[in-house]
């Protein structure tokens, strides 16, 4: 998603370019793109100048949306999303810890967008010079 965000409104990005730039296999990039297309974040453009593009601006895509589309729930344990998951929920000493961890993860990922990642990458590149 970062690679597509970096090229938003410029040109479609080839799968092999995404894989190369992000240092992942083409097979894994294809796997991720399939999920991201299904979630409505990415669309493909066919033809000689084709590739993949974001369906909306990077500023409108939160990291939580991306992670949840790929990973599902952000809760570390099942009882956070489903109180019936465990009969111990009413007296479990760690339930509140797990709940706070889930809330923290959601809070962090909700507070960041793909545009924020672009800015972070640009700052890092300027510091590396």
CA–chain centroid gap for 36, Å, is 9
User: Along the 129 residues of the chain, how does pLDDT read in single tens digits?
Assistant: 999 999 999 999 999 999 999 999 999 999 999 999 999 999 999 988 899 999 999 999 999 999 999 998 888 888 888 888 888 888 899 989 999 999 999 999 999 999 999 999 888 877 776
pLDDT score, position 66: 96
- The model's pTM is 0.83
In angstroms, the Cα distances linking 10 to 26, 53, 56, 87, 122 are 22, 9, 13, 53, 17
Separation of alpha carbons 1 and 5, rounded Å: 6
- HEC per residue, 70-94: HHCCCCCCHHHHCHHHCCCCCCCCC
- Residue 36's CB is within 10 A of a number of other CB atoms, namely 20
């Amino acid at each position: 998603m970062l690679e597509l965000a970096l090229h938003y409104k410029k040109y479609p990005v080839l799968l092999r370019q995404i894989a190369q730039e992000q240092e992942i296999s083409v097979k894994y990039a294809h796997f991720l793109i399939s999920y991201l297309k299904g979630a409505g974040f990415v669309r493909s453009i066919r033809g000689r100048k084709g590739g993949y593009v974001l369906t909306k601006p990077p500023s409108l895509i939160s990291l939580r949306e991306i992670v949840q589309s790929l990973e599902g729930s952000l809760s570390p344990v099942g009882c956070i999303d489903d109180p019936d998951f465990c009969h111990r929920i009413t007296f479990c000493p760690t339930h509140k810890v797990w709940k706070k961890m889930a809330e923290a993860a959601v809070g962090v990922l909700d507070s960041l967008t793909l545009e924020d990642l672009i800015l972070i990458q640009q700052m890092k590149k300027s510091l590396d010079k």
